[in-house]
Amino acid sequence: MTENKNDKKIGVFVCHCGINIASTVDVDKLVEEFSKYSDVSHTENYKYMCSDPGQKLISAAIKKHKLNGLVIACCSPTLHENTFRRLSENSGLNAYLCEIANIREQCSWVHEDKTEGTKKAIKIVKTIVEKVRKNESLTPVEVPVTKKALVIGAGIAGMQAALDIADAGKKVILVEKSPSIGGHMAQLSETFPTLDCSQCILTPKMVDVAQNPNITLYTYSEIEDLEGCVGNFKVKIRKKARYIDEELCTGCGICVNKCPSKKALDEFNVELTTRPAIYVPFPQAVPNIPVIDKENCLFFQKDACRICEKVCGPKAIRFDQEDEFIEEEVGAIVVATGYDLLPITEMREYGYGKYKDVINGLQFERLLSASGPTEGEVRRPSDSKIPKDVVFIQCSGSRNPEYYKSYCSKICCMYASKHAMLYKHRVPDGHSYIFYIDIRSGGKGYEEFVQRAQEEENVVYLRGRPAKVYQEGDKMVVWGVDTLSGQQITIKADLVVLAQAIIPRNGVEELIKKLKIQTDEHGFLSEAHPKLRPVETNTSGIFLAGCAQAPRDIPETVAQASGSAAKALTLLSIDKIHHLPIVATVDEDLCSGCEICIGTCPYSAREIDEEKKIAIVNEVLCEGCGSCVSACPSSASQQKNFTDGQFEEMIKAILE
């Protein structure tokens, strides 16, 4: 038995986790080993430590043996650290004197040999015993919550989240990059599976957003910078110059009508048409205030024209307007940045975008839309003829890990069926063909919708991915296959519509860097847990909604946005949040005030105490990342319960 050099009374509890641990680790051997330690006052093993009887035996031991340190050898701390720390606190022992030794994920699950597994488990538990020997009792840092939310992106996801938060009586800052709110949903014609007009169901919500007194809307604005953390973020918003005085503009539209520069490609009509240099994206835009597109404005490019300025009744044109910066403080953030489509110019087999009559799904939505460039008459872009044979190609760029995107874009099966159906409604004597690989129609009324397209609307479904599309005269020839009949198929079409893969919104990478959140390999935002924390990011206080996270349809987006709003509201409805006390601390005798830590800290938590000439820690801002600790040249900065001294002993234990 080793001599008890300290006044520690540690308890070591070993969990069998059924057979998850016990089949690869000799749990009796562990108990035997740690009972030899002079400062381990109690040790035992049990089938499920996390179960009620398991917790009771730990609690009883804490009280009986007056334990002042606790090591639970079990699964990963991401699962039950909270359980055992809470138990510890409730049994009269500071939560931060309780540590988890992960002998499941890091040992039993990855080994087969019981002798070796047991040896490794002993080493793992030993290191944690060393750590607990020098752990201090800590108290969580209390931080007040700023009761206001920021929602980034005002498509259907962002609008829904903002409205839910605002309706609960909390203030919302809604920031939208483009000149109007509405997002892609404003571009759609009718929505599956009920075929209700997209704008008709969307515009009332847009008006709600505009009129809600709890929502402050910043359109044509972007996030410039973000500081702080959960409960207290500081956000800097860049309000881009519209070159219009928003107070004076009446939205009469004379400037738009008179603008002589009409060459710019219209973003709202997905480049099917052009628009003036001064424009409002669409008639129901919120706010109904134009924007001057500098790149195409004759004044900005050639110092000429100024017609808009002359015709404007209220004299609202401001060519000298500059970007404005607004600072706001918020407690929670919802990111709803949405999606774009994989550009057709990348599709090698379908003509690299060189054929005018090969278009994407959103362009076809505009052709179907009553507010579109053809007022809902389906006319093809090259010669404005009404196409009589239309081919829809699904999985264009999706499910293709070799050349494009490996994932399924999820909504294409449904919208291709909708497109084919709506086309038949517009052009009754037309023929529509859909090339699919699998039809994925999981959703309320979705399968019935696809069946209706096949049975009642005479849409021809062909199973196979076409290999190429090329032009022959005024026809687009599609080379396909129907794998069900085993036949190669050629269709001479007038128009080809590609269901392009859904990708994260263009330029969102910059924003992600500012928010310091994570993405997956494709650039979609990562959730904290795929099943149990689907609307939270790994950064506490930042939530997700809509296609920014993964491709999804409108009902799912709205549901998820409400979920995000509820999460944000949970945070905003408490007065104070508890911040982990595992923060940096400074040994005043060692600190030379060199300021290296200040430059290293990503959370602006280090600052100089002018009186003492040392670098102190703002515990409210400190996230406990440890950057300053490793950067400090004189070891003055230490992380509480993760000190250099603790690590030395832990490393020694593992090397013994």
Instruction: Kindly report the number of other CB atoms within 10 A of residue 263's CB atom.
Output: 9
Instruction: Judge contact between 206 and 159, C-beta under 8 A.
Output: yes
Min CB(399)–another protein separation in Å = 6
With respect to another protein, which residue has the nearer C-beta, 258 or 465?
Answer: 465
Beta strand 332-335 with 542-544: parallel, antiparallel or unpaired? parallel
With respect to another protein, which residue has the nearer C-beta, 366 or 399?
Answer: 399
Q: Which two tokens mark 494? A: 């007038």
Of 504, 502, 500, whose CA–CA distance to 518 is shortest?
504
For the chain, the first-to-last Cα distance in angstroms comes to 17
CA distances from 499 to 342, 394, 439, 496 (A): 9, 5, 13, 10
With respect to another protein, which residue has the nearer C-beta, 247 or 402?
Answer: 402
CB-count burial class (<10 Å; 0-12, 13-18, 19+) for 565? buried
Min CB(357)–another protein separation in Å = 20
For residue 539, give the amino acid letter. T
Q: Which two tokens mark 263? A: 């060459």
Min CB(464)–another protein separation in Å = 3
Rounded Cα gap, residues 68 and 396, in angstroms: 62
With respect to another protein, which residue has the nearer C-beta, 30 or 491?
Answer: 491
- DSSP code of residue 538: S
Instruction: Judge contact between 289 and 281, C-beta under 8 A.
Output: no
Min CB(472)–another protein separation in Å = 16
Min CB(437)–another protein separation in Å = 5
Tell me the backbone φ, ψ of residue 94, rounded to 5 degrees: -55, 135
Instruction: Kindly report the number of other CB atoms within 10 A of residue 541's CB atom.
Output: 23
Min CB(414)–another protein separation in Å = 19
Min CB(482)–another protein separation in Å = 8
Instruction: Judge contact between 50 and 83, C-beta under 8 A.
Output: yes
Rounded Cα gap, residues 640 and 624, in angstroms: 9
Sign of the CA dihedral running 354, 342, 268, 201: positive
With respect to another protein, which residue has the nearer C-beta, 395 or 550?
Answer: 395
Min CB(465)–another protein separation in Å = 4
Rounded Cα gap, residues 454 and 460, in angstroms: 7
Min CB(394)–another protein separation in Å = 10
With respect to another protein, which residue has the nearer C-beta, 271 or 482?
Answer: 482
Residues of this chain that interact with another protein (CB under 8 A) are 349, 395, 399-404, 437, 463-468, 479-483, 486, 488-489
With respect to another protein, which residue has the nearer C-beta, 390 or 395?
Answer: 395
Greatest CA separation for the chain: 95
For residue 148, give the amino acid letter. K
